[in-house]
Chains A and B, each alone.
Chain A
Amino acid sequence: MSRLLMNYIDFILARRLWVIIGVVIASFAASSGMAYLTMASDYRVFFGPDNPDLKKWDDYQATFSKNDNVFFVLQYPQGEAFDQAMAVVVEDLTERAWALPNATRVDSISNFQRTLVVDDFLEVEDLIIGASELSPEELRDRSDFAVTEPSLYRAILSEDLRTTGVNIAIELQGNPDTEGRRTAVAAYAMADEIRAKYPDLKIAMNGSMIMNYGFVQSGERDAMTLIPGMYLLMLVLTLVMLRSFSGMIATLITIVFSTTVALGIAGFLGMRMAPIAIIAPNIILTLAIADCIHIISSIQKHLRAGMEKTEAIKEALRKNFTAVFITSVTTAVGFLTLNFSDALPFQYLGNITAFGVLAAWILAVTFVPAFLSYMPLKPATAPREGWLVTFMGRVADFTIYRARGILVTGSVLSVALIALALTNTLDDRFSRYFSEKLQVRQDLDFVSENLRGQDIFEYEIRSGLTGGINNPEYLKTLDNFVTWLRAQPEVDQVSAFSDVIKRLNQNMNGDDRAFYTIPDSPELAAQYLLLYELSLPFGLDLNNQINIDKSSTRLSVIIKDIKIVAQNDFLARVDGWAAANDPEGLIQPPTGISLLFAKLTLRNITEMITGNIIAVVVIGLLMMATLRSVGIGFISVVTNAVPVMITFGLWAIFVGQIGLAAAVIGAASLGIVVDDSVHFLTKYLRGRREKNLNKEDAIRYAFSEVGEAIVFTSIIVCAGFALIAFSTFQVNAQLGLLTAITVIVAMFFDFLVLPAILLLGTTRTQSQKTKGTTNVEPIPAK
């Protein structure tokens, strides 16, 4: 093995020019795949094709209508929706909205289809026509009507009448990514036109098309801040830690290539950039920097020790080859297990990061040595001997002396924090995915505060009989359900077919309010419905509320902005009501985008259980093989898995609510944090096996050899992930922050708990005997 390695290293340096040329050509070739990368901008990307929740939602949409939309929410600083100023705007926007790409339906307070009754003449027409010529009294009349209309009031007209919305139903034809983006861009442009025409008007943009576009906005913003931030960090870290311009250049080229190669391969494989996956370059950058600093600082150390440059490079490569390989492989394994999630963004994140980490490793052992052999390289400057090395020695002594205390305290703390980890609550609301820095989130919050909540539960009320929706019993159950729902404190608005049929009954009976009831016979209801269907204009039909054979209707409940826990409580109460009041079982379980996301985290956590187990087992086996010790390999896995769980405990104390990131953080961070243990344990075992040191001295040896390097790597990785915490996308931010914390916790474990476990079984007397005897820190290499 070592012979083979030496031959390889000689080869790399002997053919250094060819190596550089070859690496550069191969990198460019692989990177060219980036041209095929497109940005996924559809909430559906989070749900795999087999996701039963998505299937249910798709069936629902196939039964009624697609639910994509753009929602304009309008408010003037003063005045109400039915004031002339606003009525003019709404009428104007309603008319323009039809020209929005992929628009199939426009709903507003102006084009609401109001039925007017004069004797036996029924006229169905727009609620507002020619707003600029309507008198305040006429507008007042329409306002009074709108308040009584359940499909307007608190749905597109706020409770205080100040705010109103124009909803545009969208059905995308063609490529959903490009068409969706085209629609959103056109909607924003339309909003700008309206703003220009009506100064002082506040327009908030909302709806699934806008949310989808939010992924793009968030991704672009992150790309503009996080990636440059990462490069800046790289610059600072390499200059501070290596104090070498050459080293910085080598690192820079390595990180650029490893990211572009990873993205290029992803492009060739037909992957897309998606929310979450967008942070893969940041992770690759972080880990590639760590690889480079390891090797380059090792070269510098050997230069300082007086070696000639080529020899120093060879020696550094020889010493670090296995460790850098293993740390890259464990990281790649951890990330590859993200494929167990059925959310494509996680799969993409996992795969792209794995490609990048492996690319970084290849570059670090080919390009970096070859390149540096051409470059002037300063030896490491002396003052490192200073406080950090002394401190490491102190830590080593402390750990050894207090081993039992550390073990006891560590175990108690670990158990307590792991127990606390379970108290994290899941709170996945689509609306919370975006940072408050983004326009899309500000608009969402505006709508929640001024009009209504964002979460909609969609129920199918199924009669099971063709034409069954006209049966009085069906309609009465539906009406009772609606009445009950409207009395619930969580509910903002309910829209259901029973309201339509009750209004028709009233219209057909001389507009007498006493007839605002369910018709007595199925024939009457069916014929009213036929009449109504004959009188509706383009795009305002009932196909989105009634299924094709008139056996089911749709019931949508918009709820206030409440947490998932409160939502679940509400849903449980609905089930209770249905069990007691719907003996026929007409009410089907709810679906909708909100529920899809509410279940997403839990579903991913479940899916990732297998992924996590595989990550632990494979990484454990790798450690055992690398360290050539089953016991120590096992210990290393434990001391790295525990910090991940502890992080969740700390999160529970300081944050408490956790999102989607929770599902993958285990597998993703295990592969990263295990790296420090690899370095520590490799040196510990070398001390034990090659230098025949006792446990205590082997620990001191490991501390002196790699303690400093572990601190540096931890700082690099922690800083890299901490930067991701500034992402405008909540999942990314949590992923970054959780990993950053895990890295630090793992470092403490490596310095305190790992040595203490290694000392387990050693008696106190033995450990006391050696205490303080060996303070000659660096044991000279043979």
Chain B
Amino acid sequence: MLNQFRQSKRKTLALVAGAFLAVTPLASYAQEDVQKGLEIATRSDVTDNGFGDSTATAQMVLRNAAGQSSSRELVIMTLERNSSKVGDKTISLFSTPADIKGTAVLSHAKITGNDDQWIYLPALKRVKRISSSNKSGPFVGSEFAYEDITAQEVGKFDYRWIKSEKCGGATCEVIERTPNYAKSGYSRQLVWISTKTWQPEQIQFFDRAGNHVKTLTYSGYKQYGKFWRAGKLTMVNLRNGKSTDLIFTDWKFSTGLSDRDFKSSALEDLR
């Protein structure tokens, strides 16, 4: 109860702050850059619309500055939702290491509010609902924050176009985005979006003190029907030299997943 009150208060604050910020860019940034930034982000988002559902196998490789590494594997299932007010539903099902095999995390993403999350622990044979007021936290000890890997819906950020430049064999639009999420670990991000695929090629993350702390690089893009998917995401932490690779294989689309599969009660039956 207290919590809800607090959150609503925060939202009000965010609204006020948002309104204020919406005015200030007029003074400092050209309105057309803000407009262009939003257009690029929207275009990027739209190219991905209509995939319905997908599954993929992800291998997560963690590396530290000393060169040691460890890996785990999980299957990620996604169900697209067409409303712009809510994000997609996802399930992450861990298959290795053995001691967490069968552990599944279900998220119902919201745009700026807290996601609903459930976790199924096979050792306990129970589903627990968990609070996820902490999107800024790392995803299972990796260099990816939870907020880095959830769906990047347009409404989560404010945008500003910075420049166009060559990236690899294509041209990229570079946009700056500022999180609307009060508890975000970042002050801003710079995103390179390829004009060929309209998918991100690189994202630079800036912490709350304004330092460039992490860089995420997308590589190995492949087209599945009309949808582009990166084969590998590499997040490098510039501060501590640690990095995490997310390597995707087995992309499948329209596999027939439905809302029923993305209910907390369904987690137990996943294998």
Nearest B residue (CB) for A508: B124
Contacts of B68 in A (CB 8 A): 63, 547-549
- In angstroms, Cα B184 to Cα A354, docked, is 56
* A526→B128 contact, CB < 8 A: no
Chain A residue contacts of B99, Cβ below 8 A: 467, 470, 522-523, 525-527
Q: Out of B66, B94, B122, B140, which one reaches A63, CB within 8 Å?
A: B66
Chain B residues contacting A508 (CB-CB under 8 Å) are 121, 124, 128
Stretch among B12-20, B47-55, B57-65, B78-86 lining the A interface: B57-65
Q: Are B97 and A534 in contact (CB under 8 A)?
A: no
Most chain A CB within 10 A, of B63, B68, B134, is at: B134
Whether B124 contacts A527 by the Cβ 8 Å rule is: yes
Count of chain A residues with Cβ under 8 Å from any Cβ of B?
52
Q: Do A548 and B62 have beta carbons less than 8 Å apart?
A: yes
Q: Which of A470, A537, A542, A547 has the most CB of B within 10 A?
A: A537
Q: Check: B133 CB closer than 8 A to any chain A CB.
A: yes
- Chain B residues with CB below 8 A from A100, complex form: 209
Contact call B124/A125, Cβ cutoff below 8 A: no
Contact A536 B128 (CB under 8 A): no
Contact A65 B240 (CB under 8 A): yes
Determine if A546 and B65 form an interchain contact, defined as CB atoms under 8 angstroms apart. Answer: no
What is the number of residues of chain B that contact chain A, defined by CB distance less than 8 Å? 51
Chain B nearest CB: distance from A508 CB in Å? 7
Give CA–CA (A120, B264) in the complex, Å: 12
Give B181-210 interface residues, CB cut-off 8 Å to A. 183-185, 207-209
Secondary structure dominating the interface of B: loop
Interface string of A101-127 (1 = CB under 8 A from B): 111100000000000000011111100
Give the residue of A62, A65, A129 whose beta carbon is less than 8 angstroms from that of B66: A62
Indicate whether A778 reaches chain B with its CB closer than 8 angstroms: no
B75 at the interface (CB under 8 A from A): no
Chain A residues closer than 8 Å to B183, beta-carbon distance: 537-538
Shortest 6 CB-CB contacts between residues of A and residues of B: A538-B185, A538-B136, A549-B70, A526-B99, A537-B134, A123-B131
Say yes or no for A540: interface residue by CB 8 A criterion: yes
Residue of B nearest to A116 (CB): B131
Which of A99, A121, A173, A467 is the one whose CB lies under 8 Å from B128? A121
Contact of B103 among A521, A525, A530, A542 (CB under 8 A): A530
Cβ distance B143 to chain A, nearest Cβ, rounded Å: 9
Q: Is the CB of B103 within 8 A of A548?
A: no
Give the complex CA separation of A524 and B122 in angstroms: 8
CB of A533 closer than 8 Å to a CB of B: yes
- CB contacts under 8 Å to B, within A505-551, are 508, 521-528, 530-531, 533-543, 546-550
Known: A120-B128, A120-B129, A122-B129. A531 touches B119 (CB 8 A): yes
The answer to whether A543 touches B127, judged by C-beta atoms less than 8 angstroms apart, is no
A523-B122, A548-B64 as given contacts; A122 in contact with B139, CB under 8 Å? no
Partner of B133, one of A65, A66, A125: A125
Which residues on A sit within 8 Å (CB–CB) of B97? 466-467, 526
Known: A62-B64, A130-B6, A470-B99. A531 touches B128 (CB 8 A): yes
A98 sits at the interface (CB 8 A): yes
A192 CB within 8 Å of chain B: no
Total A-B pairs, Cβ < 8 A: 153
| Residues of chain A within 8 A of B239, CB atoms compared | 102, 104, 171, 173
Name A104's closest neighbour in chain B (CB-CB).
B239
30 contacts between A and B (CB under 8 A): A63-B64, A65-B240, A66-B240, A101-B211, A102-B211, A102-B239, A122-B131, A123-B131, A171-B240, A173-B211, A466-B70, A467-B98, A523-B99, A523-B122, A524-B123, A526-B97, A526-B100, A527-B99, A527-B100, A530-B100, A531-B119, A533-B138, A533-B141, A535-B131, A535-B132, A536-B134, A536-B138, A542-B141, A549-B62, A549-B70
Find out whether the CB atom of A120 lies under 8 angstroms from the CB atom of B127.
yes
Instruction: Report the Cα distance A121→B124, complex, angstroms.
Output: 14
Contact indicator B131/A173 (Cβ below 8 Å): no
B residues in contact with A524, CB < 8 Å: 121, 123-124
Q: Which residues of the partner chain A approach B209 to less than 8 Å between Cβ atoms?
A: 98-103
Nearest chain A CB to B134 CB, angstrom units = 4
- Contact check, B62 vs A534: say whether CB atoms are below 8 A apart: no
Residues in B with CB closer than 8 Å to A101 are 209, 211
User: Given A100-B209, A538-B134, are A59 and B66 also a contact pair (CB < 8 Å)?
Assistant: yes
Interface residues of B in 156-195 (CB under 8 A from A): 183-185
Indicate if the CB atoms of A548 and B63 lie closer than 8 Å. yes
Contacts of B70 in A (CB 8 A): 466, 548-550
- Closest Cβ of chain A: how far from B108's Cβ, in Å? 15
Mark A535-570 against chain B: 1 for CB-CB distance below 8 A, else 0: 111111111001111100000000000000000000
Asked whether any CB of chain A lies closer than 8 Å to the CB of B146, the reply is yes
Q: Indicate whether B270 reaches chain A with its CB closer than 8 angstroms.
A: no
Partner of B140, one of A98, A522, A533, A549: A533
**Cβ 8 A contact of B238, one of A173, A530, A549:** A173
The distance from the CB of B90 to the nearest CB of chain A, in whole angstroms, is: 13
Q: What separation, in Å, do the CA atoms of A537 and B130 have in the docked complex?
A: 13
B89-132 vs A, CB cutoff 8 Å, 1 = contact: the mask equals: 00000100111100101000000000001010111101111111
Shortest beta-carbon distance from B74 to chain A in Å: 11
Given the known inter-chain contacts A98-B209, A522-B99, please indicate yes or no for A531 contacting B64, CB distance below 8 A.
no
What are the residues of chain B within 8 A of A65 when measuring CB–CB? 240
Q: Which of B6, B130, B185 has the most CB of A within 10 A?
A: B130
What is the chain A residue whose CB lies nearest that of B126? A120
Interface centre among B65, B98, B239, B242 (most CB of A within 10 A): B239
Q: How far is the CA of A98 from the CA of B183 in the complex (A)?
A: 12
Pairwise interchain contact B121-A534, C-beta atoms closer than 8 A: no
B145 at the binding interface (Cβ < 8 Å): yes
B39 CB → nearest A CB, Å: 30
Residues 70-117 of A contacting B (Cβ, < 8 Å): 98-104
Within the assembled complex, what's the spacing in Å between the Cα atoms of A140 and B117?
A: 31
In whole angstroms, what is the CA distance A59 to B145 when docked?
25
* CB pair B121 A537 closer than 8 Å: no
CB distance from A512 to the nearest CB of B (A): 14
Q: Is the CB of B208 within 8 A of A523?
A: no
Is A534 within 8 A of B117, CB to CB? yes
A104, B212: Cα distance in complex, Å: 12
B155 beta carbon closer than 8 Å to chain A: no
- Mark B232-254 against chain A: 1 for CB-CB distance below 8 A, else 0: 00000011101000000000000
B231 CB-CB contact with A under 8 Å? no
A523 with B119: CB separation less than 8 A? no
Least Cβ–Cβ distance between A69 and chain B, in angstroms: 14
Chain B min CB distance to A673 (Å): 48
Q: In angstroms, how far is the closest chain A Cβ from the Cβ of B96?
A: 10
